[in-house]
């Protein structure tokens, strides 16, 4: 089987039996059974970035994770669900995330182990082009195989969040802002994410796009029914196919451009084999892109005008002060420490803002908007 093959399946509801039947079909067609050995340790990495309702389109649905985990267990693997969401990386934080995202109940019903080991190790990445040292949670490092179950989402900084971006969640909670600070530009951040993805090397990738997220993702957007469940061995190939299903182009996603440059992903949708349901039958025409989407017209300006134009047109986070509850989550997640609480309200000091939108992503009240100077809204 071609390493870049992506299997697409139409699925309109989150029903365990239906999901398990699809996973059986996809994994058999892709030859994944050959990857599993009796007794091997498998770490399953969903996207549980924040506490969110199942219907919000924010997190990997628990029944998708259940279908994958039971398939792995049925083939003899020792399975653990592993995640490091934003915020402090503690057992209490993990238990809260599992509970709010429906994973505690799912784990009890299907006999699945949820990780509460919050240890991590600093490991080398000798082949890294941008980053050669990463702090990674221990259960990922101890696994014989990593299974990556992403949520199909738009992303204010990276345009698209899929399987390759999902692996940022193997970095312990509050160490993520450090990487944002070290790599503030989206191209550099994308290169770091590819280094991380190559260090983790997921062997099986699944994309939950049954209910996706459009608009200002990865947490502040809106749910979007796309009715697709996808699987592949290659995280960049599955990301390419799924982003193109939304109407995004591969060349608009910095992470995918970096993967292409390194020879890790075919260039162009036509070079990726697709099995299962047809691409055309699953593509949507009304997927709403993030407000932060860049405008190509900057490239047409004289070179000396581009820095000023970029500064004027760069989107920025804006707090709805009246709705802010002063919880401090935005300040906690800010890599530049530009957010302060004053009179119980968060305030952004824009001078040092790097436009990573971590505050927007981590705000539990969703009261931090993405704004752009009105003249440049397209």
List pLDDT tens digits, range 351-363. 889 888 889 888 9
**What local confidence, expressed as pLDDT, does residue 375 receive?**
42
Q: Identify the residue with better confidence: 171 or 291.
A: 171
Q: Which residues of 158-172 are buried (b: 16+ CB within 10 A; e: fewer)?
A: bbbbbbbbbbbbbbb
Q: How far is CA 307 from the centre of its chain?
A: 30
List pLDDT tens digits, range 320-358. 999 999 999 999 999 889 999 999 999 999 988 988 888
User: What structural domains does the chain harbor?
Assistant: 6-282 (3.40.50.11440), 296-376 (3.30.70.20)
- pTM of structure: 0.86
**What local confidence, expressed as pLDDT, does residue 320 receive?**
95
Pairwise CA distance, residues 349 & 339, whole Å: 6
Least confident of 67-81, 112-126, 133-147, 168-182: 168-182
List pLDDT tens digits, range 264-296. 999 999 999 999 999 999 999 999 999 876 544
**What local confidence, expressed as pLDDT, does residue 1 receive?**
86
**What local confidence, expressed as pLDDT, does residue 222 receive?**
97
List pLDDT tens digits, range 249-261. 999 999 999 999 9
Q: What does the pLDDT average to over 208-233?
A: 97
């Amino acid at each position: 089987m071609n390493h870049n093959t992506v299997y697409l399946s139409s699925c309109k509801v989150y029903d365990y039996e239906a999901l398990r039947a699809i996973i059986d079909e996809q994994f058999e067609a892709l030859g994944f059974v050959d990857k599993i050995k009796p007794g091997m340790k498998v770490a399953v990495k969903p996207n549980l970035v924040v506490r969110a309702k199942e219907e919000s389109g924010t997190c990997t649905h628990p029944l998708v994770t259940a279908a994958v985990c039971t398939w792995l267990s049925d083939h003899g693997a020792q399975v653990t669900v592993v995640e490091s969401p934003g915020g402090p990386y503690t057992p209490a934080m993990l238990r809260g995330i599992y509970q709010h995202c429906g994973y505690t109940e799912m784990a009890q019903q299907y006999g699945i182990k949820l990780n509460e080991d919050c240890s991590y190790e600093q490991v080398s990445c000798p082949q890294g082009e941008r980053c050669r040292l990463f702090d990674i949670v221990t259960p990922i490092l101890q696994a014989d195989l990593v299974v990556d179950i992403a949520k199909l989402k738009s992303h204010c900084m990276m345009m698209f969040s899929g399987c390759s971006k999902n692996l940022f969640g193997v970095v312990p909670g509050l160490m993520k802002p450090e990487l944002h600070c070290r790599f503030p530009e989206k191209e550099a951040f994308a290169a770091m994410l590819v280094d991380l993805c190559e260090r983790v090397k997921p062997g099986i990738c699944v994309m939950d796009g049954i209910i996706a997220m459009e608009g200002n993702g990865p947490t502040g957007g809106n749910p979007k029914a796309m009715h697709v469940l996808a699987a592949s061995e290659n995280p960049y190939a599955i990301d390419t196919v799924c982003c193109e299903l939304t109407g995004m182009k591969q060349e608009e996603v910095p992470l995918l451009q970096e993967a292409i440059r390194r020879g890790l992903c075919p260039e162009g949708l036509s070079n990726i084999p697709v099995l299962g349901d047809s691409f055309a039958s699953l593509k949507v025409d009304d997927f709403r892109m993030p407000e932060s989407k860049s405008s190509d017209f900057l490239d047409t300006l004289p070179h000396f005008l581009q820095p000023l134009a970029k500064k004027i047109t760069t989107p920025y986070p804006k707090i709805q002060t009246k709705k802010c509850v002063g919880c401090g989550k935005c300040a906690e997640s800010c890599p530049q420490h530009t957010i302060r609480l004053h009179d119980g309200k968060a305030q952004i000091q824009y001078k040092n803002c790097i436009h990573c939108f971590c505050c927007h992503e981590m705000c539990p009240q969703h009261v931090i908007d993405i704004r752009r100077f009105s003249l440049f809204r397209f």
